[in-house]
Amino acid sequence: MNLSQLSQNLNIIARSVGAFIRQEAETFDTSTIEMKGFNDLVSYVDKQAEVQLVEGLRELLPEAGFITEEGTDSTKGERYNWVIDPLDGTTNFTHSLPIYCVSVGLLDGDEVVVGVVYDPSRDECFSAYKGGGAFCNANPIKVSEAPALGNALIATGFPYYDFGLMQQYLQVLGGFMAKSHGIRRLGSAALDLAYVAAGRCEGFFEYNLNAWDVAGGSIIVQEAGGRLSKFTSDGDYVFGREIVASNGNIHSEMQEIIQEHWKQTAE
């Protein structure tokens, strides 16, 4: 498989779907919003964008299966599987807040080998493939060189439906507030990861995530020179429901703060 060519074609598909999302944003009717669960929104834009992605990706790599947020196709491939979030940041989208994106990653077994995160509002296409480096609109990107947490800006996500671990999470946030330049909550995990890769922030952490939230962005961070793990250990950060991403230099400091407050019973 030619990962370079696959990545280029994936970028074209993501841009096409992003153009559809951008067009729909101009006339989006909030009365069409559906609720999958408490504070878990979905719209026809999410669903149609996913249909378009599945159709394009099926032609691109016929032998691959799919792991999709909206359930358009759940056929698993023997080796390859596309992991798709058609509109990461749906809540932002429905409130006309222009921080959302298309996110797609390709799994070869358990390893992400190609990824794209496309922001239609800023027309920024972050992409990477295994061994090929990371890019934004075809320009190479790399993680920040900030040497320590005291020089870092940290991104995270806040719980929006499961508040059982809220007190522990607030303590973790307090630890980062006291030892970094600050914390940002953008509302799109995929863009958070892309921004770590591009050096716009030095670290990102969040729990209660799904594979489609992080698959596309994770390889972009990796190929940009960053590091990824679970909260207090290495392990499966794609399906493990929690992730720490950083420029590498501050990774241990991030894990130490989390470990101080994130007890084993919360895992």
Q: Which residues are annotated as a binding site for Mg(2+)?
A: 69, 85, 87-88, 213
Q: In the structure, how many helices (H) and strands (E) does the chain have? A: 7, 14
CA end-to-end span of the chain, whole Å? 37
DSSP secondary structure letter of residue 224: T
Q: Is 245 left (phi over 0), alpha (psi -120 to 50) or beta?
A: beta
Sign of CA dihedral 187, 190, 193, 199: negative
47: nearest Cα among 27, 71, 26: 71
Q: Which residues are annotated as a binding site?
A: 69, 85, 87-88, 213
Exposed, middle or buried by CB within 10 Å (0-12, 13-18, 19+), for 142? Answer: middle
Supply 63's token pair. 């032998």
What is the rounded CA–CA span in Å between residue 65 and residue 248? 32
Residues 237/131, Cβ–Cβ less than 8 Å:
no
Kindly report the backbone phi and psi dihedral angles of residue 176, in degrees, each rounded to the nearest multiple of 5, phi listed first.
Answer: -70, -35
Sign of CA dihedral 228, 229, 235, 241: negative
Residues 223/128, Cβ–Cβ less than 8 Å:
yes
CA angle 6, 12, 17 (to 5 degrees): 125
